[in-house]
């Protein structure tokens, strides 16, 4: 596995592949890799001749300094996992490579509308940080495809939007969320859960499934379904930020004619902030 760290090194590697007519799939991550990330890598391997993974804990997307400082960093374990997964290049740049003029002065990418709702309301500036870093990484890596998990569904839509708006010659692939046996979505933040909280945590997924089942049974009063699911989370010890039914394409509030829906939630449990979502397709 190649280990580029500079702009020139990553550019030389993918440039050589491109000139040989070989395709590249890119998986951006913040490290502390788990089964969900490895699923992204597996999907990437099926799409291209070469897979590049980046590990960069992006300070610009943390609106809370304590959260950034506590974010788990496990570079040696990440490297071993990616090597075993057959990744061709692991790009682990420093902040000075990603943000050559420093973070305070870095050019920002904003995706209005989509970035200010749901998670954007509770984490101001977060999605501008994500949009900015993915554009920088896309330009450094220059892949044909980039792969993201559906667990961060709002992030996935924002990235699709900016790729369209800025005309990136790049295909974005979303990969279904990988769950533990009890339904909890794999996340680096699960490690903040105490053993008791870990046992409560799958209630988030169960609450989403309860809303989905209600809709599939014909209930269309979305706000009443949302409210009872939020109460269910509170009863299980969560502090919900939101639990909503939205139109899958653009996260606008779902209306009765919408067929592709997404139920999305963010809730705090102890020190962890957990997010999750599931899709629903209604028959016409
Ligand atoms: O989903 C993540 O891990 C991050 O938000 C991303 C896309 C790697 C940008 O830092």
Residues 47-56: pLDDT tens digits? Answer: 999 999 999 9
Architecture of domain 188-278: 2-Layer Sandwich (3.30)
Neighbours of 196 (CB within 10 A): 11
Phi, psi at 221, each rounded to 5°: -85, 85
If 0-12 CB within 10 Å is exposed, 13-18 middle and 19+ buried, where does residue 108 land? exposed
pLDDT at 212: 98
SS3 255: coil
Considering the four listed CATH numbers 3.10.290.10, 3.40.50.740, 1.10.150.530, 3.40.50.620, the one that applies to the domain covering 3-175 is 3.40.50.620
pLDDT at 115: 98
pLDDT at 256: 83
> Whose CA is closest to atom 6 on ligand 1?
29
> Whose CA is closest to atom 3 on ligand 1?
29
Say if residues 1 and 88 touch (Cβ distance below 8 Å): yes
**CA 123 to chain CA centroid, nearest Å:** 14
Tell me the CA–centroid distance for residue 75 and ligand 1, in Å: 16
Q: What is the pLDDT of residues 70-81, one digit of tens each?
A: 999 999 999 999
DSSP of 153-222, one letter per residue?
HHHHHHHHHHHHHTT-S-EEEEEPPPB-TTSPBP-GGGGGS-HHHHHHTTHHHHHHHHHHHHHHTT---H
Tell me the CA–centroid distance for residue 55 and ligand 1, in Å: 9
pLDDT at 82: 98
Total number of residues shown for the chain: 284
Domain borders along the chain are 3-175, 188-278
pLDDT at 63: 87
**Positions in the chain whose pLDDT score sits under 50:** none
């Amino acid at each position: 596995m190649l280990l580029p760290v500079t702009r020139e090194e990553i550019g030389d590697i993918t440039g050589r592949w491109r000139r040989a007519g070989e395709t590249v799939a890119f998986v951006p991550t913040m490290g502390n890799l788990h089964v969900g990330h490895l699923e992204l890598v597996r999907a990437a391997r099926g799409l291209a001749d070469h897979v590049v993974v980046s590990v960069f804990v992006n300070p610009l997307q943390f609106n809370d300094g304590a959260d950034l400082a506590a974010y788990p960093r496990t570079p040696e374990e990440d490297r071993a996992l990616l090597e075993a997964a057959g990744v061709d290049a692991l790009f682990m740049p420093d902040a000075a490579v990603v943000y050559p003029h420093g973070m305070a002065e870095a050019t920002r990418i904003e995706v209005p509308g989509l970035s200010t709702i749901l998670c954007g309301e509770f984490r101001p500036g977060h999605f501008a940080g994500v949009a900015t870093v993915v554009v920088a990484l896309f330009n450094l890596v220059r892949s044909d495809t980039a792969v993201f998990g559906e667990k961060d569904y709002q992030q996935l839509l924002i990235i699709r939007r900016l790729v369209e708006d800025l005309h990136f010659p790049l295909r974005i692939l979303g990969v279904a969320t990988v769950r533990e046996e009890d339904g909890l979505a794999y996340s680096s933040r699960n490690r903040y859960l105490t053993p008791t909280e870990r046992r409560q945590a799958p209630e988030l997924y169960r609450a989403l499934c309860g809303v989905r089942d209600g809709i599939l049974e014909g209930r269309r009063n979305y706000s009443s379904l949302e409210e009872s699911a939020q109460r269910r989370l509170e009863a299980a010890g969560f502090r919900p930020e939101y639990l909503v039914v939205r139109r899958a394409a653009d996260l606008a509030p779902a209306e009765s004619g919408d067929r592709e829906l997404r139920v999305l939630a963010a809730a705090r449990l102890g020190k962890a902030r957990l997010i999750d979502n599931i899709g629903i397709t209604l028959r016409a």
